[in-house]
Copies of this chain bind each other. A is one copy, B any other.
């Protein structure tokens, strides 16, 4: 592989090709797995190339299978003007600080234009689908122009939070898109809503349909399961 550069920050190391002047997306799994689910879709739909990975001795011992091939559990993908940091496991809290620094260092060296992270808010009932927050007044204004409701108060946990404050300190604009979710379980339908907003921000035309199909399949299985359980509880129990 050509032009592989190592950015080592304490306990974690980025081994990756450089892509200059890109918008950076971060998709590590928070509540609802939003970032991870939409990250996999972007890789497929935008035909993004794997350009590197993040390595750390504090990661859980793990490989991920993709079409039968074992791949690194935290990969970096790139295509024209877009870079995606995609993790398939929950980042251990004790790695978050150094990983944030490593990613922001990478963005500084690559003159990245901005960072977009993903998170979720648990609601009793879905209303607006997606809300936004940012790390500067300029970024907030831009979200406003997209008619995106702004989340005024609250916490942003995990990498998606620390990346916003650290990139702000380096003068890199950052936004976070929050999907409304009803539970902590994977929610591809909520991720599909985020894709629609993201298309406007990136100028892409990613079809969220695969995520909606995935959601329907999950919902059908849950429906079946519910009927089975109901059926079982109605039948006499021998024990």
A134 at interface by CB-CB < 8 Å: yes
Contacts of A66 in B (CB 8 A): 152-153
Copies of the protein in its oligomer: 5
Name the contact of A70 in the complex, choosing from B60, B69, B134, B159 (C-beta under 8 A).
B134
Residues of B within 8 A of A137 (CB): 69
Check: A157 CB closer than 8 A to any chain B CB.
Answer: yes
Question: For the complex, is A130 an interface residue (Cβ under 8 Å from B)?
Answer: no
Interface centre among A58, A70, A98, A159 (most CB of B within 10 A): A70
Contact A61 B159 (CB under 8 A): yes
A130-159 to B contact mask, C-beta < 8 Å, 1/0: 001111110010010000001111111111
Q: Answer whether residue A222 sits at the interface, using C-beta atoms and an 8 A cutoff.
A: no
Query: Is A168 part of the binding interface, using a Cβ–Cβ cutoff of 8 Å?
Result: yes
Least CB separation from A144: chain B residue: B68
Which residues A91-127 have CB closer than 8 A to chain B? 91, 93-94, 96-98, 100
Q: A29-84: which residues lie under 8 A (CB-CB) from chain B?
A: 56-72
Which chain B residues border A159 with CB–CB below 8 Å?
61
Q: Which residue of B lies closest to A136 (CB)?
A: B69
Cβ of A165 under 8 Å from chain B: yes
Q: Are A151 and B65 in contact (CB under 8 A)?
A: yes
Using known A-B contacts A61-B96, A61-B161, determine if residue A70 contacts B156 with beta carbons closer than 8 Å: yes
Q: Which of B10, B58, B68, B153 contacts A65 (CB 8 A)?
A: B153
Taking a contact as CB atoms under 8 Å apart, the answer to whether B65 and A97 are in contact is no
- Whether B61 lies near A158 (C-beta < 8 A) is yes
- Whether A135 pairs with B70 at a CB distance below 8 angstroms is yes
Report whether B68 and A155 are in contact in the complex, using a CB–CB cutoff of 8 Å: no
A62, A69, A164, A168 — most chain B CB neighbours (10 Å): A69
Q: Which residues of B contact A59 (CB under 8 A)?
A: 97
A176 interface hit (Cβ, 8 Å): yes
Contact across chains for A97 and B57 when beta carbons are under 8 A apart: yes
Q: Is there contact, CB below 8 Å, between A97 and B61?
A: yes
**CB proximity of A74 to chain B, nearest CB, Å:** 11
A223 to B161 alpha-carbon distance, docked (Å): 35
Chain A contacts to B: CB under 8 angstroms? 10, 56-72, 88, 91, 93-94, 96-98, 100, 132-137, 140, 143, 150-159, 161-162, 164-165, 168, 174, 176
